[in-house]
Amino acid sequence: MLTLDKLNIYRRFDGDLDGWARTANGHDASGITDDDWHLIEDLRQALALIAAGQASQVFTVSFESRLRDTTADEATRQALRALR
């Protein structure tokens, strides 16, 4: 489950998984994992497709459901949408 703490770690390392792994040795207080990192990347890619108008209505509806299922709360979803 993605949380604001995990997104803050992702943002602090500017999406650099290798940089985080070298610094944190794969562990830190946020509890973020490699799988979380990849999930953030996947969700960001889907958000970009939707924003660019390149996603079907079915994809968009399915994505919104997945986004709700994989994030802790609305604040986390908004923070994810704000990542650039």
CA distance 11 to 23: 14
Is pLDDT above 90 for 27? no
In this structure, are residues 3 and 29 in contact, taking their beta carbons and an 8 Å threshold? no
φ, ψ for residue 71, nearest 5 deg? -120, 150
| Nearest residue to 2 (alpha-carbon basis) of 81, 58, 73, 61 | 73
Average pLDDT over residues 46-66: 98
Q: Which two tokens stand for residue 81?
A: 């949408």
- The gap between the terminal CA atoms of the chain, to the nearest Å, is 21
Which tens digits make up the pLDDT trace of 30-49? 788 889 999 999 999 999 99
Q: Comparing 27 with 62, which gets the higher pLDDT?
A: 62
* Sign of the alpha-carbon torsion through 55, 61, 62, 67: positive
